[in-house]
Amino acid sequence: LSPYAVADHERSHARVCVVIDVLRATTVIATAIAAGARSVTTCSDIEQAFEMKRSASSDSLPLLCGERECRPIDGFDYGNSPGEYSPAGVGQRDIVMTTTNGTRAIDAASDCDVMMLACFANLSSVADAIIDEVSDVSVQDASSGSGAPPKASGLVRIVCAGTNGAITGEDTLLAGALIAVCHRKLSDTARFYDGPIELKNDSGAIALAAWQHCITHDKVSDSESLAQRLAMTDGGRNMIAAGYEQDLVDCGSIDVFDTVPQRDRLSPARFVSR
């Protein structure tokens, strides 16, 4: 549930990895690409971001975006609020982004073939993309040929950014929601005879239980009630204390676009629309 607390046995190589930082890095990256940004390249420190801008050609200077201690960085173009990212501001632009935890989670997840970024705003589309990826594996499995309908297979790893090494509620809830939506979609589809997902460790089970509790006990049923629930997480309280309450509404909005940021196969930290 937090990349800094991943046990060695949980680090097993997964072909597909999904990184989550609901508040706010993965929400912002997905929002920027949904608004028309050409790419978002993440980096871990501020000086590196300035250097990437200095070394870019003058006709395609990237926008510098991100935060430190939740706040915009001096000399940068945008901070880390999804509401800042509009088609007029970022359309057709390349972005360089550095944040405190989100970009570190992306680094921690780098050992995979397909890396996608999830937020509540693209929840269903990420689930569809995961199923597409595991379907490719199952089609290959089926071609070896028992004649039975294929079983979805393929390990998918979900990496939650957390905050400064601690597990956070908002990331855990999205991880659970993603597992639940994948489970429902796989169970609904006739392509597979064995829908249910096998959770490889307790982290997945804990995340799923947290999301189910959120629905049944906290009565989260839509974006509005989710934003209220996010306000009760550590990350949510930090956002409110820093004056970014509106970001909880944006980061809690469910299924508002279908953009899935996916790591460019040729670059370790450049994300484009899948």
The smaller minimum CB distance to ligand MLT, of residues 192 and 271, is found at: 271
In the complex, the smallest distance separating the C-beta of residue 4 from ligand MLT, rounded to whole angstroms, is 12
Q: Is 101 in the site for ligand MLT (CB under 6 A)?
A: yes
Judged by CB under 6 A, the stretch of 55-63, 99-107, 124-132, 169-177 that binds ligand MLT is 99-107
Show the binding pattern over residues 57-76: x = contacts ligand MLT (CB under 6 A), - = does not: ----------x--x------
Q: Is 203 in the site for ligand MLT (CB under 6 A)?
A: no
CB 95 within 8 A of CB 41: yes
Total of residues contacting ligand MLT (CB under 6 A): 12
Q: Is 181 in the site for ligand MLT (CB under 6 A)?
A: no
In the complex, the smallest distance separating the C-beta of residue 23 from ligand MLT, rounded to whole angstroms, is 6
Judged by CB under 6 A, the stretch of 100-108, 114-122, 185-193, 204-212 that binds ligand MLT is 100-108
Long-range contacts of 224-230 (CB under 8 A, 24+ apart): 224/252, 226/120, 226/252, 226/254, 227/251, 227/252, 227/253, 229/173, 230/22, 230/23, 230/169, 230/170, 230/173
Q: Is 100 in the site for ligand MLT (CB under 6 A)?
A: yes
The smaller minimum CB distance to ligand MLT, of residues 87 and 243, is found at: 243
The smaller minimum CB distance to ligand MLT, of residues 84 and 94, is found at: 84
The smaller minimum CB distance to ligand MLT, of residues 24 and 274, is found at: 24
Angle at the Cα of 169 (from 167 to 173), degrees rounded to 5? 115
Query: What are the residues whose beta carbons fall under 8 Å from the beta carbon of 90, sequence distance 6 or more?
Result: 32, 35, 36, 37, 63, 78
In the complex, the smallest distance separating the C-beta of residue 94 from ligand MLT, rounded to whole angstroms, is 19
Task: List the one residue from 102, 150, 169, 236 that touches ligand MLT (CB under 6 A).
Answer: 102
Q: Is 157 in the site for ligand MLT (CB under 6 A)?
A: no
Residues from 8 through 47 that contact ligand MLT (CB under 6 A)? 21, 23-25
The smaller minimum CB distance to ligand MLT, of residues 24 and 229, is found at: 24
Q: Is 171 in the site for ligand MLT (CB under 6 A)?
A: no
Amino acid identity for residue 188 in this structure: D
CB 158 within 8 A of CB 117: no
Question: Pairing relation of β-strands 270-273 and 39-42?
Answer: antiparallel
Q: Is 99 in the site for ligand MLT (CB under 6 A)?
A: yes
Q: Is 80 in the site for ligand MLT (CB under 6 A)?
A: yes
The smaller minimum CB distance to ligand MLT, of residues 97 and 134, is found at: 97
The residues that touch ligand MLT, with contacts defined as CB under 6 A, are 21, 23-25, 67, 70, 80, 99-102, 161
